[in-house]
């Protein structure tokens, strides 16, 4: 299914490039040659598919860890298996996205093959190796998502060795991987380079994630994670109470901000591109 979705996304991206309706053509006019840069667009397709699978993984994880709706089409164990499967698929899709990006760099490098491979490896996989435009920030963000996704996604299979409590604490960091993935997309995704319905749709997808996270915090499954009506008597208890309250208020603020962005269609980012898409834009 992941490959089918990726193929569909690739076809959509390819057609939009051919028709010059994608903002990619405005950002990088030379990429109007869809056939010449098909591997780059395939890398983008894997990236978008990875983001969709990461979204599904996070949604399933929040449903499993928090209060569940009364009626679900799948049982708890089946949801958990699906959660594990989507997690592994996400890791594979992110890796494919990065590998294809590196392959595209090699493909268009005129240096000797060994030099081209070495350069592409540094730029695609070494933090700080890519030194052009927005990629100086966006690519390390994506690399962080990849390098965190692999161990965090595989920790489930060694949870008995590290202990359930340690595993739960580390597993919660998966949300960081998702945030980094969204950040990378909004920073570097030329398809969502400018304000518009496509970019707003990315923000819209974050609303159910934030809502489920807020519900998870307000109604935690474990009694120890609930927020008491008043702070405890010890300094440790008061600190824990303040952190839990602060976390809940932060998520409320995020939900409000997401609603504002979706309603306005603007996130403070780049403005609408000019009608003349033949004009050049620096990739920064």
Would 82 be classed as within a structural domain?
yes
Segment 252-278 mean pLDDT: 76
| Model confidence band, residue 281 (pLDDT cutoffs 50, 70, 90) | very low
C-alpha 88: how far from its chain's center? Answer: 15
Range of the domain at 179: 2-68+76-195
Would 138 be classed as within a structural domain?
yes
Would 221 be classed as within a structural domain?
no
Query: Who wins on pLDDT, 120 or 273?
Result: 120
Segment 130-142 mean pLDDT: 86
Q: Note the pTM of the prediction, 2 decimals.
A: 0.85
Q: Cα separation of 2 and 86, whole Å?
A: 9
Q: Where are the beta strands (DSSP E) in 239-278?
A: none
**Alpha carbon of 181 to those of 65, 85, 86, 139: distances in Å?**
22, 19, 15, 10
C-alpha 24: how far from its chain's center? Answer: 19
Would 233 be classed as within a structural domain?
no
Read off the tokens for 19. Answer: 């028709």
Would 22 be classed as within a structural domain?
yes
Dihedral sign, Cα of residue 170, residue 175, residue 179, residue 184: positive
Q: pLDDT tens, 78-110?
A: 888 888 899 999 999 999 999 999 999 998 888
Would 202 be classed as within a structural domain?
no
Q: pLDDT tens, 215-243?
A: 888 887 777 667 777 776 777 777 878 88
Q: How many domains does the chain have?
A: 1
Would 26 be classed as within a structural domain?
yes
Would 174 be classed as within a structural domain?
yes
């Amino acid at each position: 299914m992941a490959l089918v979705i990726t193929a569909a996304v690739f076809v959509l991206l390819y057609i939009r490039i051919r028709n010059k309706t994608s903002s990619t053509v405005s950002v990088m006019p030379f990429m109007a040659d869809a056939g010449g840069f098909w591997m780059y667009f395939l890398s983008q397709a894997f990236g978008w598919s990875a983001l969709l699978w990461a979204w599904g993984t996070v949604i399933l994880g929040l449903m499993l860890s928090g209060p569940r709706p009364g009626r679900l089409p799948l049982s708890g164990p089946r949801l958990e298996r699906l959660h594990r499967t989507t997690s592994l698929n996400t890791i594979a899709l992110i890796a494919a996205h990065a590998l294809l990006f590196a392959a595209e760099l090699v493909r268009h490098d005129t240096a000797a093959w060994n030099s081209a491979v070495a350069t592409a490896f540094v730029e695609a996989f070494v933090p700080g190796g890519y030194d052009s435009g927005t990629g100086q920030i966006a690519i390390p963000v994506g690399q962080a998502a990849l390098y965190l996704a692999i161990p965090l996604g595989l920790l489930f299979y060694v949870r008995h060795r590290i202990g359930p409590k340690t595993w739960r604490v580390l597993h919660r960091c998966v949300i960081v991987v998702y945030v980094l993935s969204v950040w990378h997309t909004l920073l570097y995704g030329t398809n969502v380079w400018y304000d518009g319905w496509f970019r707003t749709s990315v923000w819209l997808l974050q609303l159910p994630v934030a809502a489920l996270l807020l519900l998870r915090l307000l109604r935690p499954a474990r009694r120890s994670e609930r927020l008491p009506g008043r702070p405890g008597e010890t300094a440790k208890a008061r600190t824990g109470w303040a952190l839990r309250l602060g976390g809940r208020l932060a998520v409320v603020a995020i939900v409000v901000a997401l609603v504002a962005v979706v309603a306005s269609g603007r996130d403070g980012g780049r403005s609408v591109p000019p009608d003349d898409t033949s004009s050049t834009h620096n990739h920064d």
